[in-house]
């Protein structure tokens, strides 16, 4: 399945049905009077967050959504039926923006959440509505009101507990594949990962979701490389695992490059709890490992975790560190 995290959509709610002009005509009834019914209300446009979706790919093939017009009123005081609604089904974590792509309409953060994007037009009154003691035979009715129309943007931000960040080839996809059942593409060249991947990790009987995004390079916030387009997918995470490859000549520089890009992007990423790990340590001997670990500790201000997804060294410790931060964050949210 293709990954698509942004889509532009046109929506239009249904027009209201027109009221009817009708007079009662029955044998042996001399004064029938008006009996035109009201028009039905137009259909609404809704958005609903559903389980089982993790991409907006469906909106690449359909960008126009129109609700049905309400049924017109009829004689014998029959009110028209309401027009059928239309519902946009989106993944949990989708944000809906106005046409300017900046004004947030709604953030769909819970499964089953529904929101009305456009209300249908009211139906028009039939001529029976206008009869009175001084106007006993009105011969007019109201047309239905027009529905709303607008263009909106859908932007998906995956909901995960932990996010993996780092330079290309830092071992993020290998880490995800080693601790979850996700199967991201892994190869020995930069930008193997072209779109975010999700996996469910389990440690000591507890589960949490990890998001892996494409690697960042210097200037990503200005669009260099794949750019910072996918950083929105780790905005909702409670903790970041910053992987620095042991194959880097200057691990301190590698750490600072990604740190700078996170700060330049904003979105609260610079304030998130961050666990730093030296990955791919199976390629180093003890002396090199000690030197690079010391250099990275000096750059980040604390001793980094030492990881090797290939030999499984340090993986459990890393997962437990992530779990502890996630559990503490959840506990704080519940108390608030």
> Binding site residues for GTP, as ranges?
166-173, 191-195, 212-215, 279-282, 308-310
Strand order in the sheet with 239-245: 197-203, 206-212, 162-166, 239-245, 274-279, 305-306
Binding-site residues: 166-173, 191-195, 212-215, 279-282, 308-310
Binding-site residues for Mg(2+): 173, 193
- Shortest CA distance to 156 belongs to which of 54, 50, 86, 59? 54
Q: How far apart are the first and last CA of the chain?
A: 39
How many Cβ atoms are within 10 Å of 31's Cβ, its own excluded? 7
Strand order in the sheet with 45-50: 86-91, 45-50, 114-118
Rounded to whole angstroms, what are the CA distances from 7 to 3, 170, 243?
11, 30, 31
262-266: long-range contacts (C-beta < 8 A, 24 or more apart)?
262/165, 262/216, 262/231, 264/221, 264/228, 265/220, 265/221, 265/228, 265/231
Calculate Rg over the CA atoms of the chain. Answer: 29
- Shortest CA distance to 322 belongs to which of 139, 162, 180, 125? 162
In three-state secondary structure terms, 44 is coil
Find the farthest-apart pair of alpha carbons in the chain and give their distance in angstroms, rounded. Answer: 110
């Amino acid at each position: 399945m293709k990954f698509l995290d942004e889509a532009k959509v046109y929506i239009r709610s249904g027009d209201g049905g027109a009221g009817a002009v009708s007079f009662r005509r029955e044998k042996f009834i001399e004064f029938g009077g008006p009996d035109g019914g009201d028009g039905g209300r137009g259909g609404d446009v809704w958005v609903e967050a559903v389980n089982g979706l993790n991409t907006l790919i469906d909106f690449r093939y359909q960008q126009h959504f129109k609700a049905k017009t309400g049924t017109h009123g009829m004689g014998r005081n029959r009110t028209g039926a309401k027009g059928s609604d239309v519902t946009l089904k989106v993944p949990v974590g989708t944000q809906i923006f106005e046409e300017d792509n900046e004004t947030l309409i709604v953030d769909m953060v819970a499964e089953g959440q529904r929101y009305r994007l456009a209300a249908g037009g009211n139906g028009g009154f039939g001529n029976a509505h206008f009869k009175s003691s001084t106007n006993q035979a009105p011969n007019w009715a109201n047309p239905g009101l027009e529905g709303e129309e607008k263009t909106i943007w859908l932007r998906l931000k995956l909901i995960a507990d932990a996010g993996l960040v780092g330079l290309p080839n830092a071992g993020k996809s290998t880490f995800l594949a080693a601790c979850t059942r996700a199967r991201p593409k892994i190869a020995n060249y930069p930008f193997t990962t072209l779109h975010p991947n999700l996996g469910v990790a389990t440690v000591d009987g507890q589960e949490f979701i990890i998001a892996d995004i494409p690697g960042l390079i210097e200037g990503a916030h200005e669009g260099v490389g794949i750019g910072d387009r996918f950083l929105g997918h780790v905005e909702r995470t409670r903790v970041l695992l910053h992987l620095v490859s042991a194959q880097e000549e200057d691990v301190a520089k590698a750490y600072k490059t990604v740190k700078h890009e996170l700060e330049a992007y904003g979105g609260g990423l610079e304030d998130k709890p961050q666990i730093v790990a030296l990955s791919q340590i199976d390629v180093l001997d003890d002396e090199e490992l000690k030197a690079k670990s010391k250099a990275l500790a000096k750059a980040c201000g604390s001793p980094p975790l030492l990881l090797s997804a290939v030999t499984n060294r340090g993986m459990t410790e890393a997962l437990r560190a992530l779990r502890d931060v996630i559990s503490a964050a959840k506990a704080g949210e519940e108390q608030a």
